[in-house]
Every structure is written in C-alpha cells, then in structure tokens.
Amino acid sequence: MSTELETALAEVPILDVHTHLVGGRLAARGLHDILLYHMVVSDLYSAGCPSGARLTQYPGWPSPAEAQARIAEALPYLRHVQNTSSLWGVGIILRDLYGWTDPIDERNWRKLDGLIAERADDRSWAREVLDRARIQRSGTELARRGDGTDDDRLQYALEWGFFTRCQWGESDTALYELERCWGRAPESPAPIGAGARPATERTIRSLDDVHAAVHHYVESIPYGRVLATATHLSTDIDYRTVSDAEMAAAIARRDRAGPAERDCYAAYVNEAFLTALEAHAREIVFQFSFGAEPLPFETGCRLSQRTIGQVAELIGRHPRLRFQCFLASRAANQAMCTLARELPNLSLAGYWWHNFFPDAIAQVIRERLDMLPANRQIGFFSDAYCVEWSYAKAVLVRTILARVLAERIELGQFDQNHALEFARSILYDSPQTLLGMMPRCR
C-alpha cells in the first residue's frame, strides 16, 4: 500500500515555504554544497571530523581552496556516518540527479565535484531538479533574491533582525540586533554563532531610541514583496510583559547586563514590534522557529514548558496577527498542536532542523493528522541551500508521508482518495491559504 501511495504522492505538487536558496544561483556549486550541508557537517563533527563550523556563508562563498580542504578533511569520517538520514539524503541526490552510486573517497571525489560544478550555472538544470521534485515555488530570504532572475520560482520572507534569538555568550543581543537594523534597509540576518559583532551606525541609549528603532524597522518592511517576517523565539527568554520603567532601568545597566537584562530587552522589543506590526496584520505572517538553541557551532534541541505557555499568551495578545511555527522539538509537537487547536491565528509548518529525521517526521505527521485540520498545517519545507537538497528532502518527506497515510488506510480511517486529498492540502493548498504563496505561473 505505501509503495502505491508513494507513486501517487510523487505527482502531488509542493510549495516549499522555507529555504535559503539564492536567486540566480539555485544549484549546488560543487560537491561541498551537497556533502557539507550543515546537517551533514554536524554528523561528521560528531564522528570526529575536526571542523564543526559551516563553510563560508552567504553573501560570501567558499573559495575553491576552502571547499576542497573541507571535503578532504571530511572523507575519513564518511564511513562512520553512513547510517545517518543526512547521508541518506546525500545518496538520494547523487543517485537520482547525478547517476553516482560509488562510495566517495580520495580517489574519486574530484571527478564527482566536477560533475556537480559543471551544472552549477545551468539555470535549466536547477529548474529541472525542482520540476522532478514537483516543487512549484520556494520561499527564501529577500536578501537572497539577487537581481530577480528566479522570481517565477521564488517568493520571499524577511529575515533581518532576530530580537529574540539568543547568541552564545551574549546578553544584549536584542538591543544589538535593533541597532544593526536602525536606519538601514533590510539585509541578511547575523548568522547564528556570529562571534565578534561589527560596529553599528547607531547606539540605543534610551527608551525613546528603542521606540524610534522599532518604528523604523516596521516601516522598512517591504510589504507586498515579502510574505512573512521570520525570526526565532529562544526558550531561554522570559517572555513576560515588561514595563517602560523596567526597560529603561535595564538599558542603563547594559554594560553589565546578564540574563535578567537579556530577557527584559528581548521581551520588551518583541512586544513593541508585534504591537506595531498589527497595523499590517493582513499583509504579513509572523513566522518563528522554536526549540533549537545555540551551541558553539550549531544548535541543540531545547524547549521549556514555561516558554510554550508564554508564547501561547503572546499569540493570544495579538489575535489580529497570523503566527506560523517551525518546530525543532518532537517532544513539544503535541503541545503546539493543542495551541494551534485553540489559537486560530497560529499554524504549524513542516519539520525543522532537529525534527528533520525520518522517525521524528513520522511522529509529527501522525500527531498533526490526528489533532489539526489540514488547513491549519503545512506539510513541507526543505530549509535547503541548493535545489539538490530541496529535491532530497522532498523525496524523504513523500516517502514517510506515504507510509503514515498507508497505516491509516489499513486502520480504516480513510481511503486512498482521502489520503491523497490530505497530502495535497498540506503540501500545496495550505501554503497558499496560510502564507499567501502562489502556484507556479505556466
């Protein structure tokens, strides 16, 4: 039954609501973009590979020397991570798209690198990959739009200031993020684990400065060009309501700020932002990721019950805004389903970061299938940085979705037609109604 469903599901179109694809450079530039996708880097680092950091990130690109050195460094550890689902994804890409089935080793990796690199600038190839995955359009960061070459396949979200994302070893991130945006046009967000912080043009010294910076931020959002504003809500932050007097006093203590000040800055700025954003409630969705917290290189999965409760209160305070959650914690999925059942302005989307593993995906699908209407959930986003990874993740999700739906058909919950109707709803229809994505124009 699942094989039959997989065949049928392969024809269902997908709208990929969240990626990091770059307009004009959709395809992998070489083997490093496939083999050293950040989730694979984490596998390799865990296995003993010396490097745990991502390669040079956009708007920069890895130099040939950097890419080649990191591939060579990773090769001895590949044998230890063949069991991981991330390597399963690598295998899907190489087999299906490049016809490559041999183990990667020091003798052949340059040949494979060349096969991938020779298609990097072929726009028809990138579109063929998306078409083979039945991905009609993909959401990505506005800052990665480029010259608009791929606007027919991309739509955009604003990832700019991350006021509620904790950074490793920092206490005033919310103020710094606001300063970084104040007086400027939207640009790429600071990467996680950014380390040293570039100087900003303006400094927040008072409550009036906070309000002026928030006003600038909200008025600078290019409504009509972006579907959503995307950020992260850290579980370490206390999202209580902060008074003006408390915030003013916390700003005065910035030079010696600790966790209490960190929470004060983040909660106050976020509430001021959401309040101002309500004037544009019909124009934009507030997307937030949830359940992944910074470690020195990437993140670990953590989410407290207190945070879940506080975020429910936050969403309830702003009933005109539409909220959409990317969840990284499978343990919290049931709780988030219960919130989405009772908060009509909250929807859940896909399987993010530490949830993008087959068993976790299956659990999330099962719980949401039982608990949420199909039009309150989105069934896929790839978080991919090249179309090859969009393809691999679409294959994985379709495979798992088919197996979960086959189980329910065997239980008598519904028949195959209803199963396919549900799949189409969460993969294609809900991204349109919940987020405003558009089908591909033909």
Collapsing DSSP to helix, strand or coil, 135 comes out as strand
pLDDT value, residue 196: 66
At which of 104, 120, 136 does a domain end? 120
- The rounded distance, in Å, linking the Cα atoms of 434 and 430 is 6
pLDDT value, residue 191: 67
- DSSP state letters, 212-251: HHHHHHHHHS-BTTBSEEEEEE-TTS------HHHHHHHH
230 and 258 in a single domain? The answer is yes
At which of 120, 148, 170 does a domain end? 120
200 and 338 in a single domain? The answer is yes
Does the CA dihedral 118-119-120-121 come out positive or negative?
Answer: positive
pTM of the model: 0.95
107 and 148 in a single domain? The answer is no
Indicate the residue type of 201.
E
Q: What angle do CA 93, 191, 81 make, to 5 degrees?
A: 35
**Helix runs in 278-332, H state only:** 305-317
Please list, in sequence order, all residues whose beta carbon lies within 8 angstroms of the beta carbon of residue 288, skipping any fewer than 6 positions away.
164, 230, 231, 232, 233, 323, 324, 325, 326
Element (H, E) at 109: helix 109-117
414 and 378 in a single domain? The answer is yes
Please list, in sequence order, all residues whose beta carbon lies within 8 angstroms of the beta carbon of residue 368, skipping any fewer than 6 positions away.
333, 337, 348, 377
pLDDT value, residue 83: 97
Look up residue 289 and give its DSSP letter: E
Q: Could you give the number of structural domains in the chain?
A: 2
260 and 219 in a single domain? The answer is yes
42 and 152 in a single domain? The answer is no
The Cα diameter of the chain in Å comes to 65
pLDDT value, residue 70: 98
At which of 60, 85, 120 does a domain end? 120
In a domain, 20, yes or no: no
170 and 240 in a single domain? The answer is yes
**Helix runs in 278-349, H state only:** 305-317, 333-342
The parent domain of residue 243 ranges over 128-435
Question: For residue 315, with 0-12 CB atoms within 10 Å meaning exposed, 13-18 middle and 19 or more buried, which class applies?
Answer: buried
pLDDT block averages, 10 residues each, the chain of length 442: 85 97 97 98 97 92 96 98 97 98 96 97 97 98 95 96 89 95 86 71 96 97 97 96 98 96 98 97 97 90 97 98 97 98 98 96 98 98 98 97 95 94 98 94 60
Look up residue 22 and give its DSSP letter: B
pLDDT value, residue 198: 86
Please list, in sequence order, all residues whose beta carbon lies within 8 angstroms of the beta carbon of residue 238, skipping any fewer than 6 positions away.
263, 267, 306, 310
In a domain, 367, yes or no: yes
CB atoms within 10 A of CB 390: 27
Place of tokens 């800052």: 143
